[in-house]
Each structure stands twice: as structure tokens, then as C-alpha cells.
Chain A
Amino acid sequence: KAGVTQTPRYLIKTRGQQVTLSCSPISGHRSVSWYQQTPGQGLQFLFEYFSETQRNKGNFPGRFSGRQFSNSRSEMNVSTLELGDSALYLCASSLGGPETQYFGPGTRLLVL
């Protein structure tokens, strides 16, 4: 079974731009969660989508948004990028809830 895939793997943007990251879950998985990983703050939960609906949300500003499509693929969007948004963004999928999550390799975003 193919694992969670994320595209692109690396991205360089400048302040003020926006970015869209993509995550394809394991086949059959309906839950997709997003995390931000930075050296200072560690791994922080962004949001979770299940059957195209945002089910849970972390404490991030509204610049961070996401969506999920009918095939369970998910995208995450960050608008008006700030330097502090530089991070590794991880996506994780599971069958139903976050109890048993499978992580993708991450997208490394650098904001200049």
C-alpha cells in the first residue's frame, strides 16, 4: 500500500506571497491532519479534515486554511506569508481519527 505523499517536497517563497501544499492520504483513509514543525515550537497541530469537513482546528491564525476533496486528498494554504512560517509541514492520514496516524515526508517551506 502506498504511503502518504506530499507535494512539493521543498518550496521557497517570499514574504507576502501565498502557498498551497498538497497531501495524498493512504488509500481508504478519510482523515487528514496537518502539522507545522519548527525548531522552536516543535510539532504543532494545524487542523484535521474528515470527509471533506474540517473536524478540528489548532491555534493558528486565519491565514492558514485547508480543504479536503472527495477523494480525501487535502490541500493546505497559507496566505500573506511571514518569515515565521518557514517550517516543515507534515500531513498525516488515518482511517477514522487521529489515534493511528501515518505521516508523510513533509514539505519544507522557506520564506525569504
Chain B
Amino acid sequence: AQRVTQPEKLLSVFKGAPVELKCNYSYSGSPELFWYVQYSRQRLQLLLRHISRESIKGFTADLNKGETSFHLKKPFAQEEDSAMYYCALLGGSNYKLTFGKGTLLTVNP
């Protein structure tokens, strides 16, 4: 069975500091991984997907198959990055999105 683990429920950093949100997965095939974000009082939205290999709002994520990780990184956090971040894996016999429990990021001024 596929599983996504986000070990940190809460993460607090100061503005301008680097931030890394951790995501580990368990999956027997080739995973397709995503990061979703939910800002306060807004809808859940796609931030980035690993196959795009793009940087969105300064965030990047690299798939490390050896460590089965897909950590989200940003070199200089901004206050507007404060949000709930979810890592998700697409796959399985029923081709479904499996979400991690989420990490609440707070960027302090």
C-alpha cells in the first residue's frame, strides 16, 4: 500500500530563513509526487509536481528515490508562505492521490 509521511505537523521559521518541509513516501512502483498548499481561508491548490521540475513561488522539490523522499525547499521564506502544505503521491491500482497529514508552516516577521 502506498503511504505518505510528513513528520512535522508544525514548522516555524523566521522571514528570510531557509525552509524545508519533509515528505517521505512508501510505494512499490514509480511514484508521481505533488505538493499542495492551502492558504488561510483559501482552497487547496496544487503547488508543484515532480515531473514538471519547476520552481513555483521560489519553492522546489526534488524526488530522491534512494531515500524515498520529496522534500519541499525554499531558500528564503516569506510571510506569505505561511500555510498548510500537503505532500501527495499518485499511484496504486486505483490510481488515487494519497495525501500526507500536512505540515503547518508559519513564517514569523
Tell me if A25 is interfacial: C-beta within 8 Å of chain B. no
Q: A70 near B: Cβ within 8 Å?
A: no
> Which of B54-104 touch A at CB < 8 Å?
86, 90, 94-102
Within 8 Å by CB of B96, from A3, A4, A42, A45, lies A45
The number of residues on chain B lying at the interface, defined by a beta carbon within 8 Å of a beta carbon of chain A, is 17
Interface residues on A, range: 20 to 34
How many whole Å from A33's CB to the nearest CB in chain B? 8
Chain A residues closer than 8 Å to B26, beta-carbon distance:
none
A10 to B43, CA, bound (A): 15
Any chain A CB within 8 A of the CB of B10? no
CB-CB under 8 A from A28, the residues of chain B are none
Q: Tell me if A16 is interfacial: C-beta within 8 Å of chain B.
A: no
Within residues 34 to 55 of chain A, which ones have a CB less than 8 A from any CB in chain B? Answer: 35, 42-45, 48, 55
Q: Are A56 and B94 in contact (CB under 8 A)?
A: yes
Q: Whose C-beta in chain A lies nearest to the C-beta of B38?
A: A103
B94 CB contacts on chain A under 8 angstroms: 45, 56-58
Interchain CB contact under 8 A, A58 and B96: yes
Of B32, B43, B86, the residue contacting A105 (CB under 8 A) is: B43
Given contacts A56-B95, A90-B44, A98-B95, 6 further A-B contacts (CB under 8 A): A45-B94, A58-B96, A99-B90, A100-B46, A100-B49, A102-B45
Binding site for A on B (CB under 8 A): 32, 43-46, 49, 86, 90, 94-102
A-B CB contact pairs (8 Å), 29 listed: A3-B43, A4-B43, A33-B97, A35-B97, A35-B99, A42-B101, A42-B102, A43-B86, A43-B102, A44-B99, A45-B94, A45-B96, A45-B98, A48-B96, A56-B96, A57-B94, A58-B94, A90-B44, A97-B95, A98-B90, A98-B95, A98-B96, A99-B49, A99-B90, A100-B46, A103-B45, A104-B43, A105-B43, A106-B43
